[in-house]
Amino acid sequence: MNIYEALQNVSYKKQEYFKWKHDIRFNQTSPRKTEEEFLKTVELKTFNSFHKWERTQEYKNLLLLLLESKVANDFDNIYKIVTDKAKEGDEKSIRLFLSMQKDIQSNAKLAAKTFTVVEDDEQEDDDLVLD
């Protein structure tokens, strides 16, 4: 489950607040709203209800999903740096590259299983009758 799917499970105002606070809007071409503009959008006068919500487990779970996606992006950037240095012959980078490669392969196998399950479900739902 990604952050956008998880946000579907909370109220509209909470969704908007989370996206506004962490700047994860889909449309990055428009400027970020000010506090006043945001409050007007959600038809509230203060952030008090949002500050209270930030102390809940629901908010913390959403934050963990967001951070997980950021870690994946950081991992991609680090991988590129390490591979470049490893190609130049840096011994530490070569060892780190080999270690990262093992981690990536094991995680890729887990990810592939996730997609395989989805494909199996789709095949079951195709309503075809086999002779």
d(CA 93, CA 91): 5
Instruction: Give the pLDDT confidence of 59-83 residue by residue, as tens digits.
Output: 999 999 999 889 888 989 999 999 9
Which letter does DSSP use for residue 27 in this model? Answer: -
User: Alpha carbon 16 to chain centroid distance?
Assistant: 16
d(CA 71, CA 130): 45
Looking at the predicted structure, is the pLDDT value of residue 124 above 70?
Answer: no
Predicted model pTM: 0.69
Say how many C-beta atoms besides its own lie within 10 A of residue 18's C-beta: 21
